[in-house]
Structure 1
Amino acid sequence: MEPILDDHLHLDPDHGRGIEAVKDFARSGGTHLLVVNKPSWHLGELPESGADFRHVFETTLGAVAEANDVLDGRAWPVLGVHPGLISQLVDAGHDPEGAGEIMRAGLDLAREYLDGRALALKSGRPHYEVSNEVWKASNETLRHALALGAEHGCAVQLHTEGSEDLTEIAEWAGERGLPAQRVVKHYAGGRLAGPTPSVICDKDELRRAAESGEPFMMETDFIDDPDRPGAVMGPKTVPRRVGWLREEGYDDAIRTAHVETPERVYGIDTIDTLDE
């Protein structure tokens, strides 16, 4: 058996498929998962303080514990704040700076879990048009997450606008002492300057990543929403795409995505953890 990692998916044990999605992943050959907490507004009321994120984080830890009973490898939690929350908060009456403060407080709570319970942080900025004030507050929150990652020596997964050049963010990370390789662009295409790409499992994008020879990982961004079954991609997709990559002769790229890059970015050993 070889390690197969989905670098970014969500599990909702209360409303979605939860552990059944993990079983689908495992039956398809998947071994390791990075489970990112769902956006907070999907799991309760809009937060008014950092403490209001605790339920979201604890739900994710519970889902990871269940997954670890099923997987031949293991799962790790990635905790943080979805950048789209700022729009939800502004629509509810907060000014952008106040909304940003709530989100940074959520990140401050997430860092408490970096005591061994969580592997990495999640942050970013909106991928859609926003006002200058919202953009400014969002970038302040993103930079705060990068500073926390540097302080705790952990990776930071980012949800951002679609781009093949995010060197500005990589530079922000470096200024704060976080190596650019430990910044991960979730839902990335096969080409990216700056952070490490976590490539969505589109065949064309995976081919670009494989042929680049650069570090990358693979993800589904499965959202585990009962109203949108299978969105964004289903939990069987990464193992199936690994099979396709093998058929196409990209064995080196498979090792890059599932062994070398996860160790480089997160410090995890997906081979040794197959025995757990």
Structure 2
Amino acid sequence: MDELDTPVLDDHLHLDPVNGRNTEAVEEFADHGGTHLLVLNKPSWSLGVDVDAPEDFREVFDLTVEAAADATDVLDGRAWPVLGVHPALISQLEDRGYDPAEARDLMQAGLDVAAEYVADGPALALKSGRPHYEVSDESWDASNDVMKHAFELGAEAGCAVQLHTEGGEDFRQVAEWAEDRGLPRERVVKHYSGGHVEGPTPSVLSNKDELEVAAQAGEPFLMETDFIDDPDRPGAVLGPKTVPRRVRWLLQEGYDDAVRNAHVETPSRVYDIDTEATLDS
């Protein structure tokens, strides 16, 4: 396979060193031209961890840091962990008897722990958000409070915050909440995004139609697969080879500037990472 003359970053991918393919998936990504990964921790319960105290999150975070380090050994570039609390945890906790306020407090405390990993070095950014499905008003308000806390922590740490939220294009209010807490809106990343989003930086799920929208707009954007690394759902959401394949397609279609935008310029702007300097010479 022809080498790509560009860094290739998947902005949102999961690795599971307990149940999944883990570095085998990274090798597939690298074999197709992928160079850099942002590795998001899987939801705590999917790794068999029932959290009842902030320290319980460390097992999930440590597994993710380890997976990212192993991925770096495979890549021509490197991988960075992005750590946080999946917004659907509020429903998991409520099912276990927590009220929304108690769930909010535990999730915020989990984000405090994740922020330690950013401050101490192994993690690049934080992950938060709010449910993408119907919940009670109390749970919705509590979830927004969790997300706002993530913005405060991101501002303190000087790092980006990736968001898992409902679908849509208008997230200007969310971006304003971030800015009110000192986090620039370009450092808020809307994971699982379409090609157009107002407010945060879109991390576009790498389907051709949506990538073409983002490429033609000329605004900052990132590319992702949201690969889940679940043996019961192979290839979900998109497989690890998808981003490098889509980069090839974008180049064939003449979108060279968009490729540089998504894999060099926007990663620098959002995460303060240099995907060119971190490539093996």
Task: Specify the TM-score bucket, using the shorter chain as the normaliser.
Answer: over 0.9
Other-structure match for 1:147: 152
Indicate yes or no: 2:245 matched with 1:226.
no
Unaligned runs of 5+ in 2: none
Q: Counterparts of 2:253 and 2:126 in 1: how far apart (Å)?
A: 34
Give me the TM-score of the superposition, normalised by structure 2. 0.97
Counterparts of residues 166-245 of structure 1 (less than 5 Å): 166-245=171-250
Aligned match for 1:61, one of 44, 65, 74: 65
Q: Counterparts of 2:33 and 2:199 in 1: how far apart (Å)?
A: 31
Other-structure match for 2:134: 129
Question: What is the CA RMSD across the aligned residues, in angstroms?
Answer: 0.7
SS in 2 for 1:129: coil
Contact 2:49 2:60 survives alignment (8 Å): no
Q: Counterparts of 2:239 and 2:44 in 1: how far apart (Å)?
A: 21
Shift of 1:163: 1.2
Q: Which amino acid in the other structure matches residue 187 of structure 2?
A: R
Give me the TM-score of the superposition, normalised by structure 1. 0.99
Other-structure match for 1:70: 74
Percent same amino acid among aligned pairs?
70
Indicate yes or no: 2:74 matched with 1:38.
no
Q: Counterparts of 1:141 and 1:212 in 2: how far apart (Å)?
A: 32
Q: Which amino acid in the other structure matches residue 30 of structure 2?
A: A
Shift of 1:218: 0.1
Q: Which amino acid in the other structure matches residue 66 of structure 1?
A: D
Cα deviation 1:82-128 (Å, max 9, x = unaligned):
00110011011110110111111110000110121100000000011
Shift of 1:275: 2.2
Q: Counterparts of 2:246 and 2:256 in 1: how far apart (Å)?
A: 12
Q: Deviation above 2 Å: which 4+ runs of structure 1?
A: none
Indicate yes or no: 2:91 matched with 1:93.
no
Q: Which amino acid in the other structure matches residue 106 of structure 2?
A: I
Number of matched residues? 276
Unaligned runs of 5+ in 1: none
SS in 2 for 1:199: strand
Q: Which amino acid in the other structure matches residue 240 of structure 1?
A: R
Aligned match for 1:249, one of 245, 249, 254: 254
Other-structure match for 1:118: 123
SS in 2 for 1:272: coil
